[in-house]
Amino acid sequence: MLANTKLVSIGNFDLKLNHLLIISILALSFTVSFLLRSQAADFGFELNEFDPFFNYRATQYVVDNGIGAYFEWNDTLSWYPTGRDVSATSQVMLHLTAAATYWIFGGGSDLYDFTIMFPAVFGSLSAIVLFALVRVIGGSTAGLFSALLFSISLPILIRGPIGWFKSEPLGLFFGLLAVYLLLSGINSQNKKVALFKLLGAGIFTTFSISAWGGNQFFIIPLGIFFLALPFLRTDHKFIVWAIPLYTITTVLTSLGFERVSSNFIFGLGGISLIVPSIVLICIIFIQKRSIHKTRTGLLFLMAFLIIASFLLYIYFNSELEQPFYRYLNTLNPFMTTNHPLVDSVSEHATTTLEQSFLFHSVLMIFSGIGIWLLVKNIQNKNSSFVKNDMLLFALILGIVGVYVGSTFVRLEVFGSVAVIVLASLGLTALTKEFFKNKPEPINVVEPEETESISEFMPMIEQKPKVKKPISKLIKLSYVTGIIILLIISMIFPVGANVFSASKIPPTILNGGSTFSITTTDWLDSMEWIKNNTSEDAVIAAWWDYGYWIQTKAERASLADNSTIHTHIIENIAKMFSSTPDDAWVSLNEMQADYILVFVTGQKLGIESEEPFYILEGGGDESKKQWFMRIAGEDLPKYLHSDGISGTDYFWNDTILGKMIPFTPVTYIHFETMQEFPTYQPGLDPVYVKEIKYPSDGNGPLRLVYASPSFTEEKFGPMIGVFIYEVNKEYNSTS
């Protein structure tokens, strides 16, 4: 065949045309993925979101001080005055891998720029690792499909664009690599090769969890798969040591990482791995000594599942310490939390049906086709290109991935991987089914006892009728149809396709607002703090902005995105909800020297002596309802019936209302342009500028900095960062 044509020989290896095709498609997958992930650089070359700024600072610490110092580091800029034990509370492998790759490939470049590129590179390389994984399951064709689909997957792209120096890109890379090594190891004919692959799988499993704790959800399908292996494989002598070797390696490696060893071994991930490995050994031991091997093994497995379900029920209804809510939520997607701090995080939101269709689109169809065709051909070894054990793993991964992805939006990366694997197998099965040529069945007539052999011979000598090959036009139509379906899912819907959804400004350039704009307000504000406050100054702000303050302004913050001390976040929320005098007392108790507030809005194009604004767009004015909930306050006291607009009490009697340099002056129904002096349902408040704590005032706070957009006289979006100095000499009785 043309695909097997030898192009060149390199030692004992013959480079063939099919190898060149594989390399070309993988190069295309990497390139497409990298270009889509890099679109945000059009707005500015900055780290994206909040956590990447801490991860950059931690990587910088490793580069400057070495790995040993990193494991001894207590970060005094975090959670002032307590500080933060970084190695015990961070994604250690993310920092170490970034530092190691910088030492090797950095070439004297700026580390900040290197960490901006880091997620786009490793995220794109994951397409190649997924190819290797799916190739083990269903062959090279399925692997190539998976690499291409991964490169344009919307959930994957939005959780790993350029500048997204967070957990997912590297964690997913390590997680896929670990699963590949495990499956490749247990399928290897060479036991020495299998040994090294299984050891590598265990090591990279721990690395993946250290880079991103969410990778524990990869272990759930592995645990279920282990329980089924004794019934799918006959080489029990091999798997009885191979699976425990992988599990033991994972556990032992995890002991080298403080955070992993404490949260993994006795957590959901560790139990999902260790217990199934033990049960696998027990099933094999029982089957070896039983006459009815399968039946006895299944009875033991059923007994184990019943007992395990009963113990889990008791555990979750006991007073014992429970896993984090996000882990419990994966077991029960319909679970809700009464913790406002958890609810306030957007990535913890439950995935809606609309989002699932947006994320997976036509891949859902191919996944369903794949499951049907694979199961249909499971008994026919000649037509099935997937072994039974690999088929079962793909199905388990698909079910668990979709289930986990339904819990909250962040975990849709697992749902996406699961759907991609099934869709790749589906496309491969559909293609093989479509292009194969089946011989027509021969209707052989059985001779009657009275018939002579000579009368029956012509029937035997008939040549089988072969079905005519599928015409080139039909083949071309099939390929064209598949391409059209995949392209449609890439370009529609117009406002939320892979191009538009992955091309958004880095968060620090628009403050995380809903406005697709770029400004220097946050960068200028952080620079002002760095140059105009003492080095030991402490900044109070909502916890979202803590990492920016620590990294860009190089000052200590009271709270940040690690949420290590949730009671401090609650105290800040109570402070924002308090009266100015009470807030001043709280700020001094927390040893804050400055307090920062972030406001977004739009300047209206209405001609008047004084410009009018509407305030909404993702700043603290849009988060205030969460402040009140986290503080445990009675919302109607602060907010009108729409749950957003502030009451007179909020604007006149809370420190947050006083810090926002705007005052509502009227309420408008924008569809009819009717104006009302007081709030009514369906109306929007309109504001004018009013600084309530000027720099020369005697109040509890003094406005010492307002970012440029606040003073610019232009219509349209406005984001403002306001920094107030805590007036240490304020006397509430005066």
**Mean pLDDT confidence for 556-581:** 94
pLDDT of 18 strictly over 80: yes
Mean pLDDT of 68-83: 96
Using CA atoms, how far residue 498 sits from 42, 66, 145, 341, 433, in Å, is: 16, 39, 18, 31, 30
Residue 500 is predicted with a pLDDT of 87
Q: Mean per-residue pLDDT for 587-598?
A: 97
Q: Report the C-alpha gap between 727 and 584 in whole angstroms.
A: 8
pLDDT of 155-190, one tens digit each?
A: 999 999 999 999 999 999 999 999 999 999 999 999
In DSSP notation, 95-144 reads HHHHHHHHHHH-TT--HHHHHHHHHHHHHHHHHHHHHHHHHHHH-HHHHH
Q: Give 431's pLDDT tier (boundaries 50, 70, 90).
A: confident
Look up tokens 């990482």; give the residue: 257
In this predicted structure, the answer to whether residue 2 has a pLDDT above a threshold of 90 is: no
Q: Return the closest-CA partner of residue 639 out of 649, 630, 647.
A: 647
Looking at residue 388, its pLDDT comes to 84
SS3 664: strand
Across residues 199-226, what is the average pLDDT? 93
Taking only the tens place, the pLDDT of each residue in 310-328 is 877 776 666 555 555 555 5
Given a cut of 50, whether residue 461 has pLDDT beyond it is no
Q: Decide: residue 616, CB within 10 A, 0-12 exposed, 13-18 middle, 19+ buried.
A: middle
Supply the pLDDT for residue 119. Answer: 97
DSSP letter at 465 equals P
pTM of the model: 0.90
**Length in residues, the chain:** 734
Q: Which of 569, 579, 574, 650 is nearest to 615 (CA)?
A: 650
Lowest mean pLDDT among 483-492, 552-561, 664-673, 724-733: 483-492
Share of the chain above pLDDT 70, in %: 87
What does the pLDDT look like over 512-539, one tens digit per residue? 998 989 999 999 999 999 999 999 999 9
Residue 362 structure tokens: 């036509």
Residue 3, pLDDT above cutoff 60: no
Helix (H) or strand (E) run with residue 567 in it: helix 566-577
- Rounded CA-CA distance 256/258 in Å is 7
What average pLDDT does the structure give for the chain? 87
pLDDT in tens, 625-663: 999 999 999 999 999 999 999 999 999 999 999 999 999
User: Among 172, 194, 174, 168, which Cα is nearest to 183's?
Assistant: 194
